[in-house]
Structures are given as structure tokens and as C-alpha cells.
Amino acid sequence: MAACVIRRTLLSTVNKYNRKHAISVLNVDLNSRQTPNMKRLSCSLFNVQQKRLMSSRPEGKVLETVGVFEAPKQQGKYETGQLFLHSVFGYRGIVLFPWHARLYDRDVIPATESKPTEPPGAHRSKEVKGKTHTYYQVLIDTRDCPHISQRSQTEAVTFLANHDDSRALYAIPGLDYVSHEDILPYNSTDQVPIQHELFERFLQFNASKVPPFIPRDTLQAWQEKNHPWLELSDVHRETTENIRVTVIPFYMGMREAQNSHVYWWRYCIRLENMGEEVVQLRERHWRIFSLSGTLETVRGRGVVGREPVLSEEQPAFQYSSHVSLQAPSGHMWGSYRLERPNGTFFDVRIPPFSLESKKDDTPNGFLPGPFTSLA
């Protein structure tokens, strides 16, 4: 469904597994029609997956064309205003601006080295070199948010509140960070193709531009004002037994509580099943080290109250959580325990990542709504 959406209900079968089929069917059909520059997003092209798509359609809902498919960029970056479908979670979105992050992929080992043998869940201290990778700050179409079943919640950017309650958090819903390879670009003649309260505050239609949505001054002002709290700088990735875990930490700021400083971070985690066997996440095990010298162990059932199943049809699950320390830096690492269909368990490593603070400028002033209290 790299091109098709259900009115008010987005098909949950868009993922990396069926993305390959969707794109190949598009290419075959469109090449035969000899219209490489007019790749229309029509569900009739998806013969390979048509049965699966139709079975996911709610009663009384109809498929609708949302735009014209564009070839994904292998080089370069997408510009502000680029419309896209998320290749894993299937929602409609629009690019606000790019981030150039350092990707620390523990699966990539120099040819001269061999991968060390370690027990699952061990904290590997081997240094990993980062490489530059492009991510995008995007707006999610609110019509699709209720139907992204592979996520624990609609993604949001959270901020610390500007009052005495040091634990109060506020969020701007419908903001996400998307990796370059997860972008399936398309264009549309609709002047308001994305429904989000910030769309018309941040972007305006200009038919003479490509893409035809250009940034307003408010978008640049918001980005500059909140740069420390929005910036994506490091991404950590590791695969264990075909389960890939990606972690993105964000520093949120410092607050004073009971005559001490409390530093806050948000971290976003995606689990992806790269294999064919269905597995279910059962437990989490975290180790949190603070520069103050404390080492905390956290164990519990599932994540954010859920025990997601990772299958070929829905191979990914993503969630966000928060951590606070009474020190300006620290480290986190750990493991997830997953269950196979035969009842056996195995542990999947969470790649170690740093918690680093920045100069604390309270993120106040220009924060356009909507806000949701997470306290």
C-alpha cells in the first residue's frame, strides 16, 4: 500500500516486508504504460497484494487515490514540503526539515575484525564508529494516527513544563522522526493534503515550487527556538537473532527539585523482526548508569504496558519513554526477552547509548500548540 489509503483508516500492512512487493508491482505496471514521471497512486496496481489489502478494509470504507507516486531518492535529501507515505507504519506525512545524525550500527563490523561471541543481553563495550545518516522531522496526518497499530502511541515531541512541577511533561502530538529509507515520496494537487493543526502554521502552498509547499517564517522561528530539544544527533542500532533494535535518545533539559538538579531525556525505540518467525516481546531489562556513580536495574513485563507481536505482516513496533538522572550524563543498555511460538525464549540486546546534557536553555516562549499534558 505504498500508494493507497482507506478513508479514515490506513491499512496496517504497509511495512518493509510488503514494501518490496508494492514497489515492484508499481514499476512493472508503470513501465508497461510508459509513464515514468506520472506514477499514479492507485490500488489497482497492487495485484500481488490486492487480496490482503481488501481483507483489511473495514465495511463501508472505500479506497481513495491520494496522489502521484515519485521514485524514492537514492542520493541527496528530500526538501521541506515533500509529501510521503511511511514505508513501515503506513501513515501520510510531510517533511518539515532534515537532521543529519550519527548512526552507530553495531551490526557493521570492519572486514579485518570478527564479531565477538557474547551471551545475549551482555553490554558490549567495543567502540563503534558512527556514520552520517539523514532523518527528517515530519508532521503526521491526524486522520491516520488512530490506525497505526504497530506503535504504542501517536509519536510526539515532548518538552519539560515551565513551572514548579519538575516531572510535568508536555507534548506536541503528530511529530515524528523518519529515516531517509522509510520515505515513500508522492505529490498531490490538494492544497491541504495533510491534516494537522500545525500544517498551515508551518507551510503554505506555492504552485510554482517543487514540492509546492514552502516553509513559513513561523517554521524557521520554531526550529531555531527549540533546536536543543528537537535535535536528533545520535542513532544506535543492533540486531540479535533477526530482531533489530534502534534507539534514538533526546535531551529534554534540566529542572531543580528538592535542592538538586534533575536531567531529563526521552528515548525512542523501534523493534523490527527481520526474519520470518513470529515472536512476542515479554520482558524488558534495563541498566542505567549515572555519572554520579549510581547503577540502577529495571525489570518489567513488556514495554509501555504492551507485549507486542512481531510478524511478517506487522514486523515493527515503536514506542517512546523517558528517563531522569541527578547527573548531567550517563549511559543506558539492556535487553528484551522475546518468546517464540514453541514457548522458548531468547534475549535481544538493546544497544548501549549515552545520555548527554546540553546547555540548559528552558524551552519556553514560542511553542505552538496543540499540547497534551503527560504528567
306: which DSSP letter?
A: B
Separation between Cα atoms, residue 284 and residue 350, nearest integer Å: 10
Q: Does residue 80 contact residue 215 with C-beta atoms inside 8 Å?
A: yes
Q: Does residue 316 contact residue 15 with C-beta atoms inside 8 Å?
A: yes
Ordered per-residue pLDDT tens for the chain, 375 residues: 333 333 223 333 344 434 433 333 233 232 333 333 333 343 333 332 333 322 233 455 567 788 999 999 998 999 999 999 999 998 999 999 999 999 999 987 654 445 444 544 444 555 678 899 999 999 999 999 887 866 666 666 777 766 555 456 677 888 899 999 999 999 999 999 999 999 999 999 999 999 999 999 999 999 988 888 888 889 999 999 999 999 999 998 888 877 888 899 999 999 999 999 999 999 999 999 999 899 999 999 999 999 999 999 889 999 999 999 999 999 999 999 999 999 999 999 999 999 999 875 544 444 444 444 333
pLDDT in tens, 281-294: 999 999 999 998 99
pLDDT in tens, 204-226: 999 999 999 999 999 999 998 88
The residue behind cell 506555492 is 206
**Which string of DSSP letters, residue by residue, matches 78-135?**
PPTT-EEEETTT--EEEEEEEEEEEEEETT---TTS-PPP--TT---------EEEEE
Q: What pLDDT score was predicted for residue 135? A: 96
CA–CA–CA angle 105, 107, 111 (5° rounding): 110
Half-sphere exposure of 30 (CA within 13 A, CB side): 20
Q: Indicate yes or no: pTM above 0.85.
A: no
Q: What pLDDT score was predicted for residue 100? A: 93
pLDDT in tens, 33-79: 333 333 334 333 333 233 332 223 345 556 778 899 999 999 899 99
Separation between Cα atoms, residue 219 and residue 334, nearest integer Å: 37
